[in-house]
Structure formats: structure tokens, C-alpha cells
Amino acid sequence: MKTIDKEYLQSAMFGFNDALVSTTGVIVGVSTGTNNKEVVILAGVVTILVEALSMGAGQYSSSKSAHQLDKIDAFKVPLISGVIMFGSYFLAGLIPLLPILIFPMEYSRNVAIVAALIGLFVLGYFKGRIVKVSPLKSALEILIIGGLATSVGIIVGNIFNVQ
């Protein structure tokens, strides 16, 4: 796999994984702390937009810095990496947010958690296939890490409950 392809894969993996974990953590934490659907949606939308922009800009800057350090004059690769990061974060962030938009609050949090965990499992599975390691082991690894982060969101939401 070429270095550029590896950079693009890294951007996509990081964006999808981080969005599924952090957006789910925010949505689950906020929805645990309040049953106000509008507040949960606001928190989810703000998280997705701010983080997608931040992650995309950060990926662009870090990729550009690495290329500058290697004395490679490449504007296109860092820009594409940043766009991939933004797009993957934005799309994956919608996975836990859509259940909140669609379903009643009573069970939308649980649907969001399940959707995000399925997304993490699928992401890990495809990552394993792409990099030629055990897809199941890769899927379980990403699922467990994401599940732990989601648990933190639930715990914090219960501690700081504002209902």
C-alpha cells in the first residue's frame, strides 16, 4: 500500500472511529443527564459540526507539517486527508444522532448506542479486511474500545443528572 493511500486510510479510520465514539459519548451522556430531546439534538449537532471541522483542519495541518518536515511540497495530499477526515467524522457522527431524531427519547438513547456499536464493529471488520488481519479480531477490538467510551458517557451523565 502506498504512503498516500495509508494516509487516506488513516484519516478515514480516525474520522469514523472518533465520531462514533465521541458523538455517541456526548449524545448518551447528555441524554442520560436530561430527557430534553432538543438539548440532546443540539449537543449532537454541535459536536458533529465542531469536531468534524476541527478534526479535518487538524488532519490537514498535521499532514502538511509531516510533508514539510520530509521536504515534500504536497498541498493536495494534506488537503485530501483533511477532507476525508471531515467527511468520515461527519457521516459517522450521524449514526448515533439519527435515532435521537427519529425515535422517542424513552428508547432513542438505546437505539443510538446499538447503532454506534454496530458501526464500530463494521468499521473494525472492514479495517481488518483492508489491512489483511483477522476481521473479527479487528472488529471486536474497535467495538470494545468504543463500548468503554460510551460507558463513560453514561456514567458521567448519571453523575451530573440535571433532570
Predicted TM-score (pTM) of the model is: 0.89
pLDDT digits (tens, 9 = 90+) for 77-113: 999 999 999 999 999 999 999 999 999 988 999 999 9
Domain that holds residue 16: 3-154
What's the grid cell of residue 121?
A: 464493529
Structural domain contains residue 163: no
Q: Residue 37 to residues 26, 76, 96: CA-CA distances in angstroms?
A: 13, 41, 14
Structural domain contains residue 100: yes
Per the listing, cell 486510510 goes with 9
Structural domain contains residue 72: yes
Overall number of domains in the chain = 1
Residues 89 and 76: their CA atoms lie apart, in Å, by: 20
DSSP 158: H
Structural domain contains residue 161: no
Pair 116, 20: CB distance under 8 Å = yes
Residues 111 and 102: their CA atoms lie apart, in Å, by: 10
Structural domain contains residue 159: no
